[in-house]
Amino acid sequence: MKTVFKIGTSEDLNSAQAVLLMEVGEKHCCFGILDFANQMLVQVGYHTADEKDNGNLLEKILASNTELKQSFRQTVIGYYVSASVLTPSKFYRYDEAETVLNAMYDKGQYIAVSESITEWQLYNAYHVRTAVHGLLSRSYSSGNFWHVYSIALKSGIHANEGGTLLVDFKTDSFMLLAVKDKSLLIAQIFYYTRSEDVLYWLLKVCTQFSLSQNDVNLILSGLIDKQSAVFKELYQYFIHIDFAKIENDIQLSGDFEEYPVHFFSSLYKLALCAS
């Protein structure tokens, strides 16, 4: 397990007001602890897998971060997994969705989960590793579970006549949602090793869905900044580029002052699901 960063502390926070926000992927896990009363993110941790983890990344994170063992007011968990099928609500049938999932992706030791995204009249069916879902369900009885696509769509996407590309970066992957005319065009997770890989996929999506690089609004979030090779590559090809902003009055504690707010966008989108 590698620690990318760990910021802030939740030692002084009353557990009755503590909300755990967690994003769990195959190769990374990030968590945040929210002071619910003040809607303030007070602590964040980000870990990635290494060759020694043998698929036990989540177990190691829960064991090494003692603050994750407390009793939380609520837990909101987002699954960052690529095995997902989005279906218009009027065509959705649970058994059929599970059959399609199993046909498109390796069934293996996974369970099928489905959730409604009423704001978009969609259902999202996806695979989660049985061991991961079981561990989280046992650890957090107050857990609410969502797919990251669902969370991004539920948080709201500002309309843009030329279309919108939402791109959220991890250390070796990015999640892309493309939207135009209030319709979702694509939602997918891509893995990359070079900045050119990112550019290739974004340009390919623009071509496939007839989105103009001069008109589309590219909104970046996650682990990317203006000095990165990825941003410099994108800047040469896209006219309208913005970084994601904090939404719904969620605040960051003083420990986060030296970091761009868009680094933590996946966590404050999770915070919107807390109640």
Q: Give, to the nearest 10 degrees, the angle between helix 57-64 and helix 130-139.
A: 20
pLDDT of residue 102: 87
* 248, pLDDT greater than 80: no
Per-residue pLDDT tens digits for 50-75: 877 667 889 999 999 999 998 899 99
As a whole number, mean pLDDT of residues 9-15 equals 89
Categorize the per-residue pLDDT at 29 as very low, low, confident or very high, splitting at 50, 70 and 90: very high
- Residue scoring higher pLDDT (223 or 156): 223
| CA–CA distance, 229 with 248 (Å, rounded to integer) | 31
| pLDDT for the residue 183 | 92
**pLDDT value at residue 54:** 67
Q: Which CATH number fits domain 158-243: 3.30.420.260, 3.10.620.30, 3.40.50.261, 1.10.3430.10?
A: 3.30.420.260
pLDDT at residue 109 is higher than 70:
yes
Query: Could you tell me if 71 and 10 are in contact, meaning their C-beta atoms sit under 8 angstroms apart?
Result: no
How far is it, in rounded angstroms, from Cα 135 to Cα 160?
41
Judge whether 2-80+247-271 and 158-243 match in fold: yes
- The Cα 101–Cα 97 span in angstroms is 6
Phi, psi for 25 (deg, rounded to 5): -120, 180
pLDDT value of position 159: 77
Backbone angles phi and psi of 266, in degrees to 5: -65, -30
pLDDT at 53: 67
Beta bridge partner(s), residue 184: 179
Q: Work out whether strand 18-25 and strand 28-35 pair parallel, antiparallel, or are unpaired.
A: antiparallel
Residues in CB range of 111: below 8 A, 6 or more apart: 127, 128, 130, 133
Query: How far apart, in whole angstroms, are the C-alpha atoms of residue 172 and residue 4?
Result: 12
Over range 75-94, report the average pLDDT: 95
- What local confidence, expressed as pLDDT, does residue 94 receive? 87
Query: In terms of pLDDT, which residue wins out, 99 or 230?
Result: 230
**DSSP one-letter code for 223:** S
Residue 48: predicted pLDDT:
94
Distance CA 220, CA 76 (A): 23
Is the Cβ–Cβ distance between 61 and 27 less than 8 Å?
A: no
The percent of residues above 70 in pLDDT, for the chain, comes to 99
C-alpha R_g of the chain: 18
Q: Residue 78 has what pLDDT?
A: 97
- pLDDT of 165 strictly over 70: yes
The residue extents of the domains of the chain are: 2-80+247-271, 158-243
Q: For the whole model, what pTM was predicted?
A: 0.95
- pLDDT, one tens digit per residue, over 169-207 is 999 999 999 999 989 999 999 999 999 999 999 999 999
Phi, psi of 141 (to 5 degrees): -65, -20
Q: Which CATH number does 2-80+247-271 carry?
A: 3.30.420
pLDDT band at 144 (very low <50, low <70, confident <90, very high): very high
